[in-house]
Structure formats: C-alpha cells, structure tokens
Amino acid sequence: MSIPDYQTLMLPVLETLGDGKEWPVSGLRDALAKRLGLTEQERQILIPSGRQTLFNTRCGWAKTYLAKAGLLEPVRRGVYRISARGCAVLAERLPRIDVSVLARFPEFEDFISRSESEETPGGPVSSAAVTSSESKATATAPLSETPQEVLERAHAQIRRELESEVLAAVRAANFRFFERLVVELLVKMGYGGSLKDAGRAIGRTGDDGLDGVIKEDHLGLDAIYVQAKHWAGTVGRPHVQNFAGSLEGVRGRKGVFITTSSFSGEAREYVSRIEKKIVLIDGLQLAAL
C-alpha cells in the first residue's frame, strides 16, 4: 500500500497511544507500520533529500501536530503518551483527525501563527519554518505532503531548472570553455592537486584518445586519465572502448570520460565489465556536479 499522508496518520497515531501507555517514537513507528501493513521496502522509501525516510517523516509531523494541539504530551525526550484532551477527542470517534480538528485548540493556533517552528520531527533547526500561510493551506485542503516535503520538492525543482540552464550554457560554449570547466570541476572535487597543475595536465596532448592526466590526490599517488567530449551525439561503446585502449597504452588503471551529451547503454554496460575503472559522466550528471 502507499504511505498515508501525515494528516491521515494523525488518527492512527492517537488511537495507538490511546492505551494510555508511554510510547517511544521508534516503537510508535513500528506499531503504525504493522497496523498499516507497510513492507520494509515501503518503510525505506526516502524523501527527496535522501536524509530521512518518508514514513518516519510523516509520522513525525503527525506526532508533532498532535502534541502542539495538546492531544499528546511528552514524557521525556522521544517518549509520548496521550493527554486527557487526546482521550476526549478520541472518545468522539471522529472518522478523521486533521488540522481542521486541531484548529479547535488555541495552542495549535498559536503554533501555526508563529513565523518559525521551534521543533520539527528531525530535531531543532534554524531554517525549517511552518508558516501560518502553509498551515492555512493545509487546513483548507488535505495535503499528502508535510511542509518539509513541500519545501524539499520545491528545492529539487529549482535545482533541476538550474541544472538544465547550466547544461544548455555549457553546450552552447566552445570546447576551450568546456576544457576549463572540466579542470575547475575536478579540482573542486579534490582531484588534480592545484588548479595550475590540473590546467597543465588537461588538454595537454590529445594523443591516443587521451585529453590529459591529473593527480588522483594532492600527493599524486595515482593518476586519472581524462577524456572530454563536447558534442551533441550519443557517446557509444566504440568511443569508450578506444578510451580504455588508450589507458592500456599508458598503463593507466583509472579514467574519467566526460561528455556534454549522453552515453549509450552499450557503453555503460561495457565499462561495468572491464577490469579498468572508468567513470562515465554525462551532461546531466555534469550539470549536477
């Protein structure tokens, strides 16, 4: 089954704590997952940032909102129990508990009116805010996403748009610009030693299908050979195979093939089978990096 949104989880959370016992958050999550019939794979689905699981995040927001409305009360860090108010709401046998129900209580109204929340399911933060406009939107229309998910999705969309613009600019530029870009990127990622050293290494020869060689680390304990292709066509297996052959000619063991376009499936399958370590970076990954 799909993971319920955080408002749909509010009633199951309250019902689970309705036994009056003290519940650690981890135990609450396990009980809810069992009640909802979630598989372990479903529980491991991540939110866009990849830092937390979707299920834990939604459970956390459901618990936080219930606590802010006074339906739950903290016993100690990470442990909660139902309050007298929570028992009274549970006794109403409502078919659903969401922010429209929580809005009855002044404590919750105070919480959503603040410009910045003092706590989130993941702990104290300085920038994660629950604004009154977000809360009002939540109250007027059931949302499947927590405020955190909304912010992360918006951030991911902005990043995708920026990456698209970056890639278009790189493709429109000439090869020399692309060459300098590759140099600076690799240095920023910790390869090549100094920018001056890397600048001398990349684009130095162009012989034997190699555009240059850089240090793997600042001490130069190993070498990484680089091929940079600034073009629009798909890079196929023959190009990658030629690059691998060029590595053999210089006794190289590691290589990075960077292109502004894309690699064919055959090219990627080829590098997965050979002994040499060759990393393929296509235009989309280049823009992301």
**CATH number assigned to the domain covering 173-288:** 3.40.1350.10
Instruction: Provide mean pLDDT across the span 15-30.
Output: 95
According to the model, what pLDDT value does residue 239 have? 92
Domains of the chain: which residue ranges? 10-154, 173-288
pTM of the entire structure? 0.55
Residue 279 CA, chain-centre distance (Å), reads 22
Statement: residue 41 has pLDDT above 80: yes
| pLDDT value of residue 152 | 81
Position 203 confidence tier, pLDDT thresholds 50, 70, 90: low
- Across the range 108-134, mean pLDDT stands at 50
| pLDDT number for residue 208 | 54
List the beta bridge partners of residue 258.
228, 281
Sign of torsion over alpha carbons 57, 58, 63, 67: positive
**What is the pLDDT averaged over residues 122-140?**
36
**3-state SS class at 74:** strand
- 136 versus 18: the higher-pLDDT residue is 18
Averaged pLDDT, 185-190 = 85
Residue 114's pLDDT band (boundaries 50, 70, 90)? confident
Q: Which residue has the higher pLDDT, 23 or 127?
A: 23
The single-letter code of the amino acid at 143 is: L
Fill in the amino acid letter for 230. Answer: H
Indicate the pLDDT class of residue 35, thresholds 50, 70 and 90: very high
Would you state the pLDDT for residue 140? 34
Scored b (16 or more CB within 10 A) or e, 141-157 reads eebebbbbbebbeeeee
DSSP type of residue 208: G
Nearest to 288 by CA among 121, 159, 190, 148: 159
SS3 (DSSP) at 239:
helix
Strands (E), the chain: 23-24, 72-76, 79-82, 212-215, 223-229, 254-259, 277-281
